[in-house]
Structure 1
């Protein structure tokens, strides 16, 4: 990935040169006041302004009514995370509905959406029951809980930068940020002669959560001494030289370009800007923004960086975007979901121009509900909620004249969260779905009539707010079906990963034919089954370091249908070896030369090495072809024990070399 590399002075100039005199901040709940719309959203401060604009409201004095995103007559009602003059104000989202505390941030927004589904009181038992009051949550981060209740639909790319005041903080590293914000006596308090005044966004902020993770901290390891302010408000955070605070780059761009309400004008006038950051694995400084025609624009390399780049999401109930379900909300689907030939209202050219105007990058996966294309799934974000899905119903099938009647009894024991509906599915002998029907929780039977003669499989599963439970199934006659099993061992980068596959067929048929392994839409390898229905497929030695969910597909044969499964393949960083060569002795008037060679199977390590004497760094170098020669500073007379530390890279682990000794005479 290409990144823009700038000097510290250029970083500051590129940011400051794009600042404009802006209008006073203003809250932008649905306008005019008292307006109610069908699709209610709350949550993230980072995306509130762009969602307000996409809703067609007035943002920073400009009306976006002409480009409002709607589904039929259903419009978006986006409620701000905070009100400038009344941070604890309440909102009312439905005519005659309850007034409840304004959800301030991604976490509270997702909690409000969850409680809108469960009927719990928001934000706690002393609050107000808000069942049915929220349809989606704005979120600048992914799920905090596992599950499938909520679908996180990406709609743009943002990045987290560090807003700073003072030239001493023009450039920063991840290690420095970690040390500035970490808890304990080792916290970095002075940098480049400047006393530091670290600030964080408020609790529940998605930007706060993302930033802490990016620099290797959590809420339990960050310093409790650090004050908090409303996120993306430099005026409140950067009140003195040496102050710094994580900041949505998209929000910074929108504020400085006069697009969004400006909560940073005073700070920018006093010299506040976004620092350049040395990204992990890079040797130069990457600026989050650049200036084009007097306006700030994103630097794509920074936004796409895995450490500081992030997707921003609209979070919706999964069941509301399931077209086969009884809870399907077509308006919500039409506004947010891109699937097949269906394009989300938020993914049109008109909408994406608005998204770009507010400082975000548009991505091809806008509206995706596929986890392989940046969508995520999460559970209810309600403290203490039971996370179990219902057990299998007890199923009975009765065949008739070209018909099939299914009857069932509710799962036992009853789940803590009650059953909301049942899904009935009928498939043919080739595995194709003949019909799918969702029925309300009180229904315990369903009949299919007018069926063609053949073999069918029926299944019934009960669902609650946590998702569908295990299905009870019945099969009248199954022949010529196949199933795939696959295993993949954890493999280090640079070594050849292998997927071992076994395909089995019913009725004693031994499968033959082709098997394909894919990661998303990318084909990683193919192979032909042997006479026992097995094959091992070797993959590239340079797959990304990550846990890959691979799809293994059997293409079928003249006697067997197609089938597929998924298998997780974990690619770990390669383990390096660090070798050093150094003179046994040297004059104290000379600088010793230390040769460092870092090797790893199947790859040539890149990155930085450091020479330590005790806990002190005395030399630093960058590998070229896995090697580097470092010249040490002059050593005081005596014996010096040192070692080399290789910092690692995106594909190779860090590692210490063996101690070596140089005698200075």
Structure 2
């Protein structure tokens, strides 16, 4: 059962009233020293103590080992403080993996997000003078939302906090947004006769960014008199009457209730407190805290206010909590994400009891990755980080039997290389049928076993900055058809006949026409027999004497895919037949005339005919309409054995006729 906001507040009061004694600032990074856990977090000091507790470490001499959150596989959380435990150093270094590099401790939400970014990109942290920290950070603690647009990082809400104003001196008991604006830009220097001494958290602090936005100022508009202090440390900020500083209300409660390490109770004992603030639209002021059983507790009206109330987040790589991604991190998902029936380990009743004890208000959206329910997305953070996403891949589609194969070529390179490709198949109603995420080295994906029907698909190239433009396909998925074709060698003048058979799969009978082409030229068409799937297509009997490569295409039906086959047709020269008509006798003083007729099936031969006596050509003629009458020269007396030879053409073979005899008298 999830804890409500109301019961969470009571849990907080009950926990701190149950004997959590205030002690010296005993707190640390993952303990004991040298402990390494799988899920490493850095960043905000607003949520560092509660994350330390949820990690099962000792916070302010209180052991939380019994309530350590873990993934289903047992992966634990390692939360590293924003400043060095015990010394308060802001320049110390941390090592988060066995044998890993030692790098500067990220101090504040912004620096935590930058460290997470550079853990993804492999760049040096905090800048080029640092060391490469690829794979050293898994999440960032953040008390504020994104500073960069994009979708690379998901901000998962954990609880509700608020930013109050810690003040010293009764003159600052009640403040308005206008007064705060004017104090921090330097135009208001006294309130109720008290000179004010404004402080602001360090650069990169989420509380600093949030507070300035709430009062309508930019960093560049801060008065020179505003002093920078470490976030959420009242003892060093509230050193004189008139001092004021933005402060996490949750942190103020946890410190003053003895739950978090003490950076504030000395200042509180000297008169430091949280001012009541007149919230926008209200006529009176609202205090951020109340007292329950002698302990501080949140005022929900202040926490829920849209100006001063805020969600606090755990920031993770978006792809790491996407179950469809090849970069999905199940351990990270189990600890941080609440989605559908899956509840984050951080959203369990025991975890929310711990969260409430540190001054935060539990919300039903703890662990949400739904952008409509308090989750946010942002881009990679840090200077010089490219925000360019890849262009659309060049897409090619191949349809198969109840299947579709999408293949692509990589888009032009961007500053950040392609890490993976996301392929999504949609049904005719636009619903997602399947999603595949493949590494950058893979350039194809297939979907099989699909029901026939209309589909569409997108392919995007992703890099660390986000998802690029989509390449799109739409079409129909059908059953496979198979086309076969054969044709015999055919002489010129005879009709070539292409025997075509189309077979459908899954018991579907192919119907319709087939087309025979040579290149782009249609040579013939035929309609399939509906019962056999066969047809014989007759082609022209005057195709060029040559070897022809034919393509036989079947266009498919509403259920069958198109298919095609190739066939090789060899057209040979026609066979000629030569006949002659000549007189039996002729006077030696006359010239005999010989008629030669050349025939071939399906064509009328043309060309030259020669009359030979032995091997000697004695006369020549040219066919016209397949015939020619040739006048012979005068023949010497006697018998002459002659024959006619047809020389052939581009379409008809040469042929020699039978001998004939003419007697010259």
TM-score by length of 2: 0.67
Q: Within 5 A, what are the aligned runs for 1:128-277?
A: 128-183=131-186, 187-277=187-277
1:521-580 CA distances to partner (integer Å, 9 max, x unpaired)? xxxxxxxxxxxxxxxxxxxxxxxxxxxxxxxxxxxxxxxxxxxxxxxxxxxxxxxxxxxx
2:108 matches 1:76: no
1:18 deviates by 14
1:416-565 matches, within 5 Å, as 416-477=415-476
The secondary structure found in structure 1 opposite 2:476 is: coil
Query: Corresponding residue for 2:60?
Result: 60
Aligned pairs (5 A) from 1:365-384: 365-384=365-384
Note the C-alpha offset of 1:475: 1.1
* 1:354 to 2:357 alignment: no
Deviation (angstroms), 1:428? 2.4
Q: Could you tell me how far 1:172 is from its partner in structure 2? A: 0.8
Instruction: Show the counterpart of 2:318.
Output: 318
1:117 matched residue in structure 2: 120
> Is this contact kept in 2: 1:28–1:49, CA < 8 A?
no
- Alignment correspondent of 2:656: none
SS at match of 2:140: strand
Task: Using the TM superposition, give the Cα deviation of residue 225 of structure 1 relative to its aligned residue in structure 2, in angstroms.
Answer: 2.4
Runs of 4+ in 1 over 3 A off after TM superposition: 17-21
Alpha-carbon deviations, 1:259-300, whole Å to 9, x = none?
Answer: 000101211111111111111111111000000111100000
Query: How far is the alpha carbon of 1:229 from its aligned partner?
Result: 1.1
Q: Match of 1:47?
A: 47
* 1:242 positional shift: 1.0
Q: Matched residue of 1:52: which SS?
A: helix
Q: Is the 8 Å Cα contact of residues 18 and 296 (structure 1) preserved in structure 2?
A: no
Are the equivalent residues in 2 in contact too, given 1:22–1:265 (CA < 8 A)? Answer: no
SS in 1 for 2:219: coil
Partners in 2 of 1:69 and 1:20 — Cα distance? 21
Q: For the Cα contact (< 8 Å) 1:151–1:377, is it kept in 2?
A: yes
Higher radius of gyration, 1 or 2: 2
Asked if the contact 1:57–1:65 (Cα under 8 Å) also holds between the matched residues in 2, the reply is yes
- The 2-side partners of 1:459 and 1:232 are apart by 48
RMSD of equivalent CA atoms: 1.8
Query: Deviation string for 1:89-144 (max 9, x for gaps)?
Result: 10000000000000000000000000101111110110111010000000000000
Displacement, 1:22? 2.6
Conservation of the 8 A alpha-carbon contact between 1:18 and 1:291:
no
Give the Cα–Cα distance (whole angstroms) in 2 for the partners of residues 303 and 163 of structure 1.
15
Instruction: Report what 2:494 is aligned to.
Output: none
SS of the residue aligned with 1:247? strand
2:91 corresponds to 1:88: yes
| 1:298-337 aligned within 5 A | 298-337=298-337
Match of 2:102 in 1: 99
| 2:20–2:62 CA contact under 8 A, matched in 1 | no
3-state SS, counterpart of residue 246 of structure 1: strand
Q: 1:18 to 1:58 in 2, by over 3 A?
A: closer
For 1:127 and 1:77, the matched residues in 2 are separated by: 22
SS of 2:254's equivalent in the other structure is helix
CA distance in 1, matches of 2:277, 2:400: 70
The whole-number CA distance in structure 1 between the counterparts of 2:21 and 2:473 is: 69
Judge conservation of contact 1:429–1:478 (CA < 8 Å) in 2. Answer: no
Question: 2: distance between equivalents of 1:18 and 1:275?
Answer: 27
Contact 2:161/2:250 (CA < 8 Å) preserved in 1?
yes
> In 1, are the aligned partners of 2:27 and 2:61 still within 8 Å (CA)?
no
1:289 — aligned with what? 289
Aligned to 2:338: 338
CA distance in 1, matches of 2:211, 2:405: 55
In 2, the alpha carbon distance for the partners of 1:40 and 1:227 equals 32
Structure 1 residues 429 and 44: CA distance shift in structure 2, 3 A: same
Q: Call closer, same or farther: CA 1:257–1:355 in 2, change over 3 Å.
A: same
SS in 1 for 2:261: coil
Displacement of 1:450 after TM fit?
2.7
* 1:389 matches 2:389: yes
C-alpha distance 20-414 of structure 1, shift in aligned 2 (>3 A): closer
Gaps of 5+ in 1: 1-16, 480-665
